[in-house]
Amino acid sequence: MIAETPEAPAAPQRRPLRDSMLLKVFVIGVLMLALLIPIVLVSNLISERQARHDQTAADVAGSWGLEQTLGGPVLRVPYLVRGKDDKGQVQVWTAHALFLPEELQVEGEITPERRSRGIFEVAVYRAALHWKGTLRRPSFAAWGIPETDVLWNEAELAIGVPDMRGLRRGVTVAWSGQDLTLAPGGAVEGMWSRGLRTPVPGLAGQKEGAVNTFAFELLLDGSRSLRFLPLGQQTGIKLSSPWPDPSFTGAWLPESRRVGAAGFEASWSVPYFGRSYPQQWRSTEAATVAPQEALNASAFGVDLFLPVDAYQKTERSLKYSLLFLLLTFLTFFLYEVFSPFALHPLQYLLVGAALCLFYVLLLSVSEHARFGLAYAVASTATVALIGGYAAAILRGRLRALGIAGALGALYGYLYVLLQAEDYALLLGSVGLFLILALVMFVTRKIDWYAPRPGGGKAVG
């Protein structure tokens, strides 16, 4: 009787493709590229909400008063110009000369308010401004224009106010002992298209160079920004307000300022040497001597900065989304490499979806709460969701705690980057270097051509 030789056990069936680490890396890369689609959609959502906020703010400001850039007062004096036409006949027409103040001082108190429509807010204000200064009786001698051709009786004083709806009461100018009532219609060619004006009597009887004083009060409504044109040979502006978050902008910063929780005080002293236009010019040469661009560029003042940074910070955090996907997927993949189980690509996709949803949570909560609180809520919810899911698919609480700890550290690191704008590049580059060094250290002995260690089965 011949003894039967027992059959050798069948060799386990190999699945080189599923167990290939390179193939898994390729699949993870494809998933990351696919997740760029919802990231782009989130970016579009942020832009849409930002545009809606801006539109709502513009609507509220339009009902109250727009941004104001004030200029003046300017003395506009007409004169006669004589010339000949093509047929040699003498023609006479009227042109204007513009003269700026010798000294200009403005003191004002800005009373701010927060107006809202729905969940959106805009900063508006009411400014009580006291203007005073001096303006000399001008001379036309430098232009070769005789006194007889100057129409002194038609001279006007003009003040530029971009949004006339912001004026809450009439304006009277105390001009060298006279009270002059300003009226709408103070457009000055090349300077501003809206404003106030009043005839200026008595210039014809004055001596050349006679000093005229002026003073008036402006009670003005506006929104977000209040600026001034430095039209004086020496311009001084002094503003105060209980608004705690001013942003000083324009061609000049304050010479002195004090900013605190109780508000701010700021003062400017601007000589005419710092601007690119003179103290007087004719309307015929305005385009070259005092172009509109030069006037606009010389404006300065204060913006009532409303710290609505939710959209900007959410947009900045979204720029790190690919890094979050990469590091989170890498952490899950390393657990696969060193453990006897495999994860399905769909599980990676669900984790990636949770990471993308973080930005939607952050955006929606930050529209109703401070950004720091919104960030804490969104990041905690995301870490808890992914950590709980990891406890099931990684077959162990310790592994899930490792995932949650790593993800929590990443979100904490991102928050630091968002707060430290000046040092964001430095902190970001150092942090990425350390993360790369850690990954290189952990994976230094892995044979990427070998099958995945353990040959585990896919979870799920």
In this predicted model, what pLDDT tens digit does every residue of 23-69 receive, in sequence order? 888 888 899 899 999 999 999 998 888 888 878 777 777 778 788 99
Whether residue 61 is contained in a domain is answered as no
Average pLDDT over residues 271-282: 89
Average pLDDT over residues 224-237: 93
321 and 400 part of one domain:
yes
DSSP 451: B
Compare 115 and 259 and report the one with higher pLDDT: 259
270 and 343 part of one domain:
no
Residue 77 CA to its chain's centroid (Å): 41
pLDDT category at 454 given cuts 50, 70, 90 is: very low
pLDDT category at 6 given cuts 50, 70, 90 is: low
Please say if the pLDDT value at position 93 is more than 60. yes
pLDDT category at 199 given cuts 50, 70, 90 is: very high
Whether residue 234 is contained in a domain is answered as yes
360 and 454 part of one domain:
yes
Compare 54 and 1 and report the one with higher pLDDT: 54
Three-state DSSP class for residue 214: strand
Please say if the pLDDT value at position 313 is more than 60. yes
Please say if the pLDDT value at position 171 is more than 50. yes
138 and 209 part of one domain:
yes
Token readout for 297 is: 């560029």
300 and 444 part of one domain:
no
What value does the mean pLDDT of the chain take?
85
342-376 residue pLDDT tens: 888 899 999 999 999 999 999 999 888 888 899 99
How far, in Å, are 239, 277, 460 from residue 106 at the CA level? Answer: 8, 21, 74
Of 278, 304, 330, which residue constitutes the final position of a domain? 304
Query: Model pTM greater than 0.85?
Result: no
Other C-beta atoms closer than 10 Å to the C-beta of 316 total 15
76 and 212 part of one domain:
yes
226 and 325 part of one domain:
no
Three-state DSSP class for residue 169: coil
How far, in Å, are 125, 145, 151, 248, 431 from residue 410 at the CA level? Answer: 41, 75, 74, 35, 10
Whether residue 14 is contained in a domain is answered as no
Q: What is the CATH number of the domain that holds 194?
A: 2.60.40
Query: Which pLDDT does position 422 carry in this prediction?
Result: 66
Amino acid at 370: R
Of 304, 320, 350, which residue constitutes the final position of a domain? 304
Query: Which pLDDT does position 457 carry in this prediction?
Result: 47
273 and 376 part of one domain:
no
**Residues in Cβ contact with 40 at an 8 Å cutoff, skipping those fewer than 6 apart:** none
pLDDT category at 312 given cuts 50, 70, 90 is: confident
pLDDT category at 458 given cuts 50, 70, 90 is: very low
Token readout for 170 is: 């009439």
Whether residue 62 is contained in a domain is answered as no
How far, in Å, are 105, 326, 343, 426 from residue 302 at the CA level? Answer: 17, 43, 57, 31
By residue range, what is the domain housing residue 99? 67-304
pLDDT category at 460 given cuts 50, 70, 90 is: very low
145-170 residue pLDDT tens: 888 888 999 999 999 999 888 888 88
Of 304, 333, 364, which residue constitutes the final position of a domain? 304
260 and 407 part of one domain:
no
Three-state DSSP class for residue 200: coil
Any idea which residue has 């809206």 for tokens? 194
Helix (H) or strand (E) segment spanning residue 160: strand 156-160
Compare 281 and 17 and report the one with higher pLDDT: 281
253 and 397 part of one domain:
no
Please give the tally of structural domains in the chain.
2
Whether residue 374 is contained in a domain is answered as yes
Whether residue 272 is contained in a domain is answered as yes
Distance CA 457, CA 454 (A): 9
242 and 276 part of one domain:
yes
For the ranges 103-117, 139-153, 378-392, 439-453, which has the lowest average pLDDT? 439-453
317 and 297 part of one domain:
no
